[in-house]
Amino acid sequence: DAVDYTVKHDDGLGLDTLGRAEIVIVGVSRSSKTPVSLYLSFRGWKVANVPIVPGLEVPPELLAIEQERIVGFTVDPPFLHLLRVEREKHLGARLGSYTDENEIVREVTYARRICFEHGWPVLNVTAKAIEEAATEVMGTIYARTGQRKGSITE
């Protein structure tokens, strides 16, 4: 059930049922939102992830849910640049501003500002293993909501 929910709520999908999420991860593209969401879903959490994109308003559905369930992800811009360049190579296509270093700094700064404005905690997931990032998310959710599934240190 959790995995099914998470798959249907990847990358901003399923906003009409976002309120059923136990965790919502927000952040820029390539900040590990999807792999961490899936990992958490295998641990029983219903997780949605929503991209934060400069120039696009935060979906109203995100603002309508329990804000304590939202966690922001950030990545250091130089590391994010390397990730995006590798993705560009893998796809064999030029992705334009997606890999531009100045644009990446602007995106990361914008996402951090949005999280700050809404009181969402921000976890720096730069070079972290999926399991490590997931453990931080679980600890954050436990601290903010009291909800726990299994051991945080499993």
CA-wise closest residue to 55 among 122, 107, 102, 13: 107
**How does pLDDT run across 63-94, given as a tens digit for each residue?**
999 999 999 999 999 999 999 888 777 777 76
Report the pLDDT value the prediction gives residue 153, as an integer from 0 to 100: 53
- So what's the pLDDT on residue 128? 96
Q: What's the confidence (pLDDT) of residue 49? A: 98
What's the pTM value of the predicted model, to 2 decimals? Answer: 0.92
Rounded to a whole number of angstroms, the distance between the first and last alpha carbons of the chain is 21
Of 7, 83, 100, nearest to 45 (Cα)?
A: 7
Residue 150 is predicted with a pLDDT of 63
Query: Mean pLDDT across the stretch 85-104?
Result: 80
Model confidence over 21-62: pLDDT tens digits? 999 999 998 899 999 999 999 999 999 999 999 999 999 999
Quick one: pLDDT at residue 99?
A: 83
Cβ neighbors of 144 (< 8 A, separation 6 or more) are: 68, 69, 121
